[in-house]
């Protein structure tokens, strides 16, 4: 049979292009080409599954501050992780996606949340 033969993950196909469903374990996607003269050597592509980022530590910063003043809030930095900061109460925020951001204290109480984010780059 002429074409390509793919093996790996949740795929087994004879098409030139494939979509692979990746599970939770690393592995290889492999392909050979074939025609009426024979088959090529096996080509392999390793697929690695990165670990999930750890939850950031406690947020540090002032527990009380006057409206209109500036304050910095932070968490301990973790390598290869960016952070999504969310703040309520109409406070303005600058900075991020790093482990710290600065805000201007608003006229009401606020809740500050931080979530780790590790983007997958291929």
Question: Do 54 and 110 have their domain in common?
Answer: yes
Residues 88 and 36 both lie in one domain: no
- Cβ of 20: how many Cβ atoms within 10 Å? 15
Check if the beta carbon of residue 17 is closer than 8 Å to that of residue 42: no
Domain interval for residue 12 = 3-47
CB 73 within 8 A of CB 66: no
Number of structural domains the chain divides into: 2
pLDDT-derived band at 69 (thresholds 50, 70, 90) equals very high
pLDDT for 80 equals 75
pLDDT of residue 62: 92
Kindly state whether residues 119 and 94 are assigned to the same domain. yes
Report cis status (omega within 30 of 0) of the bond before 97: yes
On whether both 69 and 117 belong to a single domain, the answer is yes
Does 4 have pLDDT greater than 50?
yes
Pick from 5-9, 25-29, 81-85, 106-110: least confident: 5-9
* pLDDT tens profile 83-93: 888 888 888 87
**Together in a domain, 103 and 57:** yes
- CA distances from residue 101 to 35, 48, 60, 69, 115 in whole angstroms, order as listed: 59, 32, 11, 14, 13
Q: Which pLDDT value is given to residue 71? A: 92
Q: Is the pLDDT of residue 96 over 50?
A: yes
């Amino acid at each position: 049979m002429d074409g390509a033969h793919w093996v790996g993950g949740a795929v087994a196909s004879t098409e030139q292009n494939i979509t692979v469903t990746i599970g939770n374990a690393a592995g290889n996607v492999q392909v050979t080409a074939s025609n009426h003269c024979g088959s090529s050597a096996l080509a392999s592509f390793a697929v690695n599954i990165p670990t999930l980022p750890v939850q950031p530590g406690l947020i540090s910063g002032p527990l009380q501050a006057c409206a209109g003043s500036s304050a910095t809030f932070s968490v301990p930095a973790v390598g290869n992780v960016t952070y999504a900061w969310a703040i309520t109460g109409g406070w303005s925020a600058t900075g991020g996606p790093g482990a710290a951001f600065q805000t201007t204290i608003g006229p009401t109480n606020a809740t500050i949340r931080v979530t780790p984010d590790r983007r997958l780059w291929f």
